[in-house]
Structure 1
């Protein structure tokens, strides 16, 4: 039988954060789905409605945390998948740098949009 390999060290920080972010994302994604498909049906979601929701500090903070958590979870998952596929040495360092820069750019842009949607610019 093939031996199982994972770049996550069981009990390590990256391993733990991947699980914590997954649990958080399940809860917030359920909230997000409920909010935008049951409370506000997709056809009723408008720019003005989004602005109104983002003006609520609790909703704003939840969505920003959703963005940060999803970005970390995705970047960390992609990086570890690449490491599991055999990425090593310089390629591993370059890919980590590219993913971190892309993740930070996504978070900065997302927070900027959230702030603009909340009318705080």
Structure 2
């Protein structure tokens, strides 16, 4: 039988954050689908409606947390998948900092869009 290997340290911080972000994403994604696909159908979604929703503090905060959490979860997952596949040395360092930079840029742009949608920018 093949040995099991994971780059996550069992019960380590990254291991815990990956699980917590997954749980948060399941709940927020369910909220997103319920609100924007069942309560309001796709044909009913407008720029003005998005603008009004984003002006509500709770919705705005939820969407920003959704962005940050999804970005962390994705970047952390991709990085650990590559480590599990055996990436090491200089390529591992390049990937780590490249993914971190990409994550920061994605979150910054997402927050910029969220602020614009809320009418703050």
Pairwise TM-score range, normalised by the shorter structure: over 0.9
Alignment correspondent of 2:15 = 15
1-structure distance, mates of 2:99, 2:8: 17
Q: TM-score, normalised by structure 1?
A: 0.99
SS in 2 for 1:8: coil
Task: Report the Cα offset of residue 39 of structure 1.
Answer: 1.4
Equivalent residues in 2 for 1:93-108 (5 A)?
93-108=93-108
2-structure distance, mates of 1:34, 1:56: 18
Alignment correspondent of 2:115 = 115
Task: Report the Cα offset of residue 15 of structure 1.
Answer: 0.2
Name stretches of at least 5 consecutive residues in structure 1 with no aligned partner: none
Equivalent residues in 2 for 1:28-47 (5 A)?
28-47=28-47
2-structure distance, mates of 1:35, 1:66: 15
Name stretches of at least 5 consecutive residues in structure 2 with no aligned partner: none
Q: TM-score, normalised by structure 2?
A: 0.99
Task: Report the Cα offset of residue 10 of structure 1.
Answer: 0.5
1-structure distance, mates of 2:104, 2:58: 23
2-structure distance, mates of 1:3, 1:24: 31
Q: In terms of mean alpha carbon deviation, does 36-45 or 19-28 score higher?
A: 36-45
Task: Report the Cα offset of residue 89 of structure 1.
Answer: 0.7
2-structure distance, mates of 1:77, 1:51: 32
Equivalent residues in 2 for 1:12-91 (5 A)?
12-91=12-91
Moved over 2 A (4+): none
Task: Report the Cα offset of residue 6 of structure 1.
Answer: 0.4
Task: Report the Cα offset of residue 58 of structure 1.
Answer: 0.2
